[in-house]
Structure 1
Amino acid sequence: MSTTEEKLYRQAYALSLFTIFYNVAEGIISMLMGYEDETLTLFGFGVDSFIEVMSGIGIAVMILRIRQNPDSPKSNFEIKALKITGTAFYMLSVGLLVGIITNLINHHKPETTLWGVIISVVSIVVMVWLMNAKKKVGRGLNSAAIIADSNCTKVCVYMSLVLLASSLIYEFTGFAYADVIGTAGLIYFSISEGKEAFEKAKGKACACDKC
């Protein structure tokens, strides 16, 4: 392996670790503020961040594997991580749906969605940077796996945009169903990510690989 390739693999691994630690911090803050402000979308966004941590661990292991042998198949750990991640996304979708129904029955509205605006803006900036950084490294290594991971980061950007839109709408208009609509958006993307995780576990190409 050349010095350049070694450097790029170190960068790829460092980016995977950054993804894990960033999502831990984002998850804690989002869940705490979502609970305090009674914002279901922000709370669900925080739970999603912790699921992304599980996914990130699998990616870190994948990078270590392809660093040794780029053509090696997925390890049992990676496959199990993908299945656990997919199951967690489906469970999140069910939990958020129950939350939507409960909030509609109780005519519940958030106290404020200001934190949703702040967290989503930070997340968009970080995820766009992360996506581009991973893609650059992936292209440098000519690694389809790393490029696919960078493309799948787009889903995190989309979820952040959903949080931002619903938070801004409620903060400026007080529209009662803004939080519910935002949560429905998270459910859509959670189901999509769950499906893709199981497809990856089976060795199938995912939609995000073609982005």
Structure 2
Amino acid sequence: MEDRAIKWNRVRRYALALSLFTVVYNLVEAGIAIAGANWSHSLTLFGFGLDSLLESSSGCIMIWRFWKDHSVNDLAVFEKFEQRATHLIAYTFFLLGSYILIDASLALYWKKTPQVSLTGIILAIASLIVMPILFHLKYQLGKQIESRSLIADSKETLACVMLSAAMLLGLGAYALWEIWWIDSVTAIVISGFLLHEGYEMLEGECGASEHCH
């Protein structure tokens, strides 16, 4: 029992460390991105900043989840925290996906053109370096301890990677060929991924629970 408790506490500390890093990194990233978006009028850059804020909220959910859960052999307690955390993370997917879908659709309708932003390029490159590593660490740990909520949180990090790639694609396409619609179309595709993932999370929880409404 003692060895199991020590192992679980080590896992909790590792999950908490990943979550704390997620929150701090994304809050800084969000502040820079939103400030840069106000200057460059880039839809993707602003969406990137919003994603960073929601990524922070997802990280906060995971901090709550692992800070509160001291279970070692109590599967009922483990499952209670898993279900609550996964539900909350799913809602962040819906919020982000809905916002990006609406905003990108309006941008296409009004034919908004992004302005090339050095801030956006730097943030996107930094994110493409840091976030895949963070995604991998959280996903592998989630698989190891069979934590649906941590796996869901890792997919929020993956969404940040996708938005980073989309931002670089959109800025590059407009800078080189003045193709104004690339970032909006890419954002709509990403919004579909986010909404689908949120739906799958809730469906999975409904399938695992007899009291899903």
Q: Tell me, yes or no, whether TM beats 0.5.
A: yes
Q: 1:45 aligns with which of 41, 44, 48?
A: 48
Indicate conservation of the 8 Å contact 1:41/1:163, yes or no: yes
Indicate conservation of the 8 Å contact 1:45/1:186, yes or no: no
Q: How many angstroms does 1:49 deviate by?
A: 1.7
Q: How many angstroms does 1:67 deviate by?
A: 4.2
Distance 1:136 1:85, change over 3 A: closer
Q: How many angstroms does 1:65 deviate by?
A: 4.5
Q: Partners of 1:103 and 1:155 in 2: how far apart?
A: 20
Check if 1:144 corresponds to 2:150. Answer: no
Q: 1:162 aligns with which of 149, 158, 166?
A: 166
Distance 1:119 1:185, change over 3 A: farther
Check if 1:23 corresponds to 2:29. Answer: no
RMSD across aligned C-alpha pairs, in angstroms?
3.1
Moved more, 127-136 or 11-20: 127-136
Kindly report which structure 2 residues correspond to 1:170-209, keeping only aligned pairs within 5 A, or say none.
Answer: 170-199=174-203, 201-202=205-206, 204=208
Where does the alignment leave 5 or more consecutive residues of structure 2 unmatched? 209-213
Q: Partners of 2:192 and 2:71 in 1: how far apart?
A: 37
Letter of the 2:59 partner, please give it.
Answer: G
Equivalenced residue count is 201
Indicate conservation of the 8 Å contact 2:33/2:45, yes or no: yes
- Alignment match, 1:209: none
Distance 1:84 1:137, change over 3 A: closer
Q: 1:11 aligns with which of 7, 11, 14?
A: 14
Indicate conservation of the 8 Å contact 1:23/1:52, yes or no: yes
Q: 2:106 aligns with which of 102, 106, 126?
A: 102
1:26-61 CA distance string (max 9 Å, x none)? 222222212321111111121122122222122222
Check if 1:56 corresponds to 2:59. Answer: yes
Check if 1:89 corresponds to 2:100. Answer: no
Distance 1:163 1:201, change over 3 A: farther
Indicate conservation of the 8 Å contact 1:30/1:45, yes or no: yes
- Alignment match, 1:207: none
Distance 1:74 1:167, change over 3 A: farther
Q: Partners of 1:105 and 1:133 in 2: how far apart?
A: 39
Where does the alignment leave 5 or more consecutive residues of structure 1 unmatched? 205-211
Q: Partners of 1:74 and 1:166 in 2: how far apart?
A: 42
Q: Partners of 1:191 and 1:4 in 2: how far apart?
A: 35
Q: How many angstroms does 1:15 deviate by?
A: 1.0
1:107-148 CA distance string (max 9 Å, x none)? 321122433322121112111221233356557xx4111773
